[in-house]
Each structure stands twice: as structure tokens, then as C-alpha cells.
Chains A and B, each alone.
Chain A
Amino acid sequence: MNPAFTLFMWARGPAFDVALAIFAAGITLRLVEMVVLGRKTDLAPAKGHPIRQGLATIFTRSIPRPGLVRFAPGTYLGGYVFHLGFFAAFLLFAPHIALIRDALGLSWPAANRAIVESATALAVVAAIILFFSRVMDPVRRALTGFEDYLVLLLSVLPLVTGYVAANKLFGNPEMMLAVHVLSVDALLIVFPFTKLMHSVSFVFSRYYNGAIQGRKGAES
């Protein structure tokens, strides 16, 4: 009767259920694997404070090293703007808060439309800058594989489709919402099995890096 409605209901029904199950299973799988595999015990006495430095590094790595912003401004600023914009659009938009409240029982005040849409637009612009910084630089281009482009595309699609759906830019609002939810479903499915997993595993990698250097008594 109404293909847009049917697609929307499928996207927020069975498709979301399966995508979330894959997302939850994949993330748990990767985390459990990381913890159970563990690391070889270092029997040498530590020269510094591995645990303290490991924990500190989880946070200090979010601050760029002096000079690096000037060295690669597109990568650094683009990266910051993309992440902050993405999370602002995700966590401050009322429909998303309604979803989180339904899932976890947590709720907080929503931001106004100007903030959410500006954050979305900035994140998309940042993603375009990040894309060009990969393509233009020969070294980064050589290091970039299919997965990197796929991950970048799948990260941007929810932002673009969400903006389109919220502003009803192309006619049928149900179809636009369906496309938006489907883009999120796709993101959830690939999340645990691609570099998107960094949003969870960064805690481990930063801790290990900090702890290794801390054990040696070096900076991290």
C-alpha cells in the first residue's frame, strides 16, 4: 500500500533488531577476545608507574601534541570537528534521546535545532576534509584501503540522511526516515568488524601504550 511506510517499519523493526544484535555480539566478541588473550606478563621490575600512566594516557591522547596541529591541520581539526559534531548530533537531538531513553532509561535535555543542525553540517564538512586529506596526500592515499573509505562513507551517511529527513528535503518523510534508519542499521552491522571498533578499543590501545612507556619510565 505504502512502500515508504513498509520500508520505514522494516528499518526500525526487524532490520534494526538484527543490526543491533550483530552490533552487540560483535563488540562483546572483540572485547572478550582482547581481555581473554591478554598480554604476556612482564617480569622485569617497572621503572615508572605503568598503571597510572596507562590510565592517564587514555585521556591525554585526546590532546594533540604541540606542533602536530600545524603539521597536519586538516587531519587534526577535521578529526576533532567530525567526532564532536557526530556525537553532538547523535546525543543532543531529541528523537535520538527518546531512543536512548527507551533502550536504557537514560534521558537528558535536547539541544535546539540550530545547534543540532550546525553540528551535523560541520561534521559532514569535516568528513569531506578528511576524505580529501586521504586522497591528496600520496602517503595516506597508499595507506588507505577499501575499508577506510567504506567506514568514512558509512559514518557520514547517517548525518546526511538525518539532515535530509529532519528537513524533509525530498518529499516523502517516511521514505527519508527509512533511508536514515537503514544507514544507521548498516553502520551498526559493520561497526564491530571494521576500524570503527576504535571507538571502544581506543581505551585498551591507549592504556597499553601508556602502560608500556610507563613501565620503561618514558613519556607517552
Chain B
Amino acid sequence: MKTRPLLSETMAAHGVSRRTFMKYCATLASVMALPPALAPRIAQALERARRPSVIWLSFQECTGCTESITRSHAPTIEEMIFNTISLDYQDTLQAAAGHQAEAARHQAMKENYGKYLVVVEGSIPVANPAYSCFAGRSNLDVLKETAAGAAAIVTVGTCAAYGGIPHAMPNPTGARAVSDIITDKPIINVPGCPPIPVVMTGVLAHFLTFGVPELDDLGRPKAFYGDVIHDRCYRRPFYDKGLFAETFDDEGARAGWCLYKLGCKGPTTHSVCATVKWNGGVSFPIQSGHPCLGCTQPDFWDGGGFYKPLSVPTGDYRALAAGGVGVGAVVGAAGALVGRGVKAEAARKHETVDAHDLEKPS
């Protein structure tokens, strides 16, 4: 760590040409919705960037985010970027274990205090910290300790960004997002279950080039989470034409029609899945015939069901409506019978009067 090579040196060592690198920077600029003219600036910033120290904390998670990023159609420049950062602590990937691993984290924090980047994967159990500990310490303690000297925090995956699956009702561990606990550091949320690798490297490139990117009201970089999937989906024309798959094996499904009626959450989910796609641009869930689960959105697990269309109510509304009909019938009949009784009583009490009665002295 004392002699940190520049990215350009690492690339040269790995046989990556400058042309390839420039193409990558142009792609990043495009993905981040930046003008093409900024590509050289990204290249310059990345080339000059010394390996920033990154401490990767794994809390209540499934390691799917790490799997996603490490399997980013390697070998690519994305992988190079990850090779270029100084990943000083990542308990899934690092060889060290136990006290040695903790010592590596403390050393990285000490040497780069105020400058290192913290990447958090997984939510933090607050109600009962015993659900997730390492080295005998709770996730909450480790997060607070590590975040204290961080330049910024990047939350990778929906668990770290919004609580994710552990936060799903009834949330037995009291899972919380990083932003619920750390409030005095810049936090960049990169949600997804898992996030797309290029989004992660794009955020990192943006951080190295321009600093913290512009974020939306849920703390996500607008460059990657500005649009909803529905607006960029190649199946959108079918939605507009009123053509839908009704089941997973009907004619509509085979013809590739819109999956809205099968519960697609594309209309409310912000992500670049439909444009950047996965596995090197091969496909994304909707393209493979499955509705979007909405995994970049907070509480997507409690959205009423993955296969329930957005327009369908989530409660047991049929039973309540049936109860309403019963109550209405009883109250309506009772009201009408009371009305009839009042009418009959009035008729019974009605006294007929004739002209003779009127002439009687009162």
C-alpha cells in the first residue's frame, strides 16, 4: 500500500491499450448521461487516481452483490477498476481471516483517515445486534467506527441502501439502512438486488472524477437511477398498444408482450436495467420473460407481491366488500322497515276531519 501504482501503470501491466481504456471512459460518460466531451476528463482523472483505499463491510446480506461485481463479464476494464482500487478489507474476498483481517481494516483506516471510501453491503441489525457480528463485534459498532474516518460511503445493494430483504416485514432483526445510522457523511446509494456491475464502477469513476454524483431524493445517482425501467423498456410499445401477456405461457408471453399484468414493477422502478442490461449487455429480467421485481426501490419486498399488478389492491378487499354488502343489506332493510312503521303509525293516528267537525266550537 505504500507504493500504490497509478491506474495507467496497472493497465499497462495487464495489457489494456489506451484506446480500449478511452472507449471505456466514453461508455462510462454515456452511461452517466454526461456529454461525450467529458470522456477525456474521466480518463485523465482515472489515470491519475492513486489507488483509493476501500473498506468493504459485509453485514446482513447474501453476498449476491459481491458475486455480481466480481462476475462482471471478466476480464474487463470494470474488473481493472476494481483491481485498481486498494480493496484493503473485504471479508469475502480477502485471504486474511480473524484478527489479521481486522488488523488490515484498522491499518487501512489509520493510514487513510478521512480519505478512504467505505462500501457497505447488507443491512444493520439494530433491534438485536447478535443476528450479525464479526470478530465479536456488532455490525452497528463496526459501521460507526469505520464510517468515522471515511470520505464517503457507498451502499451496494438494496439491503445497505434501504434495509432490503432483512428489512421486510416483520423485520425480525430490526434491520436498518446505512443512512438511518450514519448522517454526517456523504452516502451514495447504489441499490439493486444486486446492482449492475457497471453502475458500481460508474459510481466509483464518478466519485474519482467529479466527486459525489448528483443524487435523487432516495440518495441514488441520478445518472443511473433517473429513469424508470418502464420508460426505457423494449416491451413498452406493447404496453402502449394494449398487448399483454396474461400468463407465463400464453401467446402474449411467447410473443414478448408487456408483462404489466404479471406484476411487472417497471413503471415505478428506477434503474438502467433496460438500457445497460446484465452480463455484458446480454439481457435483463424483462427480456428473459420475467416481470421486474422493483429491486432498486425501498421496501420492494413488501410491495404486495411480485406477481400482483401495480393496479391491484394489496389487502383482502373482497372479504371486506362482502362484509359491507351484508352490513348494508341489514341496515338498509332495517331503515326501510322503520320507515314503513313510521308511515303506518302516522296512518293509524291520522284522524279524519269533516266540515261538521270544523264547525264545532272548540
A9 touching B242, Cβ below 8 Å = no
Give every chain A residue within 8 A of B243 (Cβ-Cβ).
110
B324 touching A20, Cβ below 8 Å = yes
Give every chain A residue within 8 A of B304 (Cβ-Cβ).
9, 12-13
Give every chain B residue within 8 A of A22 (Cβ-Cβ).
324
- Which of B21-29, B94-102, B274-282, B308-316 forms contacts with chain A? B308-316
Given that A29-B328, A173-B268 are contacting pairs, would A95 and B336 also be in contact in the complex, using a CB cutoff of 8 Å? no
Most chain B CB within 10 A, of A95, A109, A172, is at: A95
Interface size of A by Cβ–Cβ distance < 8 Å? Answer: 51
Given that A16-B315, A17-B315, A28-B332 are contacting pairs, would A1 and B177 also be in contact in the complex, using a CB cutoff of 8 Å? yes
Give every chain A residue within 8 A of B331 (Cβ-Cβ).
25, 29
- Which of B51-59, B69-77, B197-205, B295-303 forms contacts with chain A? B295-303
A112 touching B328, Cβ below 8 Å = no
Shortest distance from the beta carbon of B213 to any chain A beta carbon, whole Å: 18
Given that A1-B162, A113-B241 are contacting pairs, would A26 and B317 also be in contact in the complex, using a CB cutoff of 8 Å? no
Most chain A CB within 10 A, of B242, B260, B299, B312, is at: B242
Given that A20-B320, A113-B240 are contacting pairs, would A95 and B325 also be in contact in the complex, using a CB cutoff of 8 Å? no
B218 touching A2, Cβ below 8 Å = yes
Q: Which of B228-278 contact A (CB under 8 A)?
A: 228, 231, 239-244, 246, 258, 260-261, 267-268
B310 touching A36, Cβ below 8 Å = no
B324 touching A98, Cβ below 8 Å = no
A14 touching B328, Cβ below 8 Å = no
A94 touching B239, Cβ below 8 Å = yes
Given that A28-B332, A36-B337 are contacting pairs, would A102 and B325 also be in contact in the complex, using a CB cutoff of 8 Å? no
Is residue A72 contacting chain B, with contact meaning CB distance below 8 A?
A: no
Tell me, in angstroms, the Cα distance from A35 to B332 when the chains sit together: 9
B-contact 0/1 string along A168-190, CB 8 Å cutoff: 10001110010000000000000
Q: Which of A20-55 contact B (CB under 8 A)?
A: 20-33, 35-37
Give every chain A residue within 8 A of B177 (Cβ-Cβ).
1
A95 touching B310, Cβ below 8 Å = yes
B231 touching A168, Cβ below 8 Å = yes
Give every chain B residue within 8 A of A17 (Cβ-Cβ).
313, 315-317, 320
B328 touching A98, Cβ below 8 Å = no
Is residue B335 contacting chain A, with contact meaning CB distance below 8 A?
A: yes
Tell me, in angstroms, the Cα distance from A109 to B331 when the chains sit together: 38
Contact of B268 among A92, A113, A174 (CB under 8 A): A174
User: Which residue of A is nearest B242, CB measured?
Assistant: A110
Q: Which of B213-233 contact A (CB under 8 A)?
A: 217-218, 228, 231
Is residue A142 contacting chain B, with contact meaning CB distance below 8 A?
A: no
Q: Which of B103-153 contact A (CB under 8 A)?
A: none
Most chain A CB within 10 A, of B258, B302, B324, B337, is at: B324
Is residue B329 contacting chain A, with contact meaning CB distance below 8 A?
A: yes
Shortest distance from the beta carbon of B336 to any chain A beta carbon, whole Å: 3
Give 8 nearest A-B pairs by CB, closest first: A28-B328, A32-B332, A36-B336, A95-B311, A24-B324, A25-B324, A110-B242, A25-B328
Name 25 A/B residue pairs within 8 A (Cβ), A-sorted. Answer: A9-B299, A9-B304, A12-B304, A12-B312, A13-B304, A14-B315, A17-B320, A21-B323, A24-B328, A25-B324, A25-B328, A27-B328, A29-B328, A29-B329, A29-B335, A32-B336, A37-B336, A37-B340, A95-B310, A99-B312, A112-B240, A113-B241, A116-B242, A168-B228, A177-B310
Using A5-B299, A101-B261 as known contacts, list a sample of 14 further A-B pairs with CB atoms less than 8 Å apart, ordered by residue number in A.
Answer: A1-B162, A8-B268, A17-B313, A21-B317, A23-B321, A28-B324, A28-B327, A30-B332, A33-B339, A35-B336, A94-B239, A112-B242, A113-B241, A172-B217
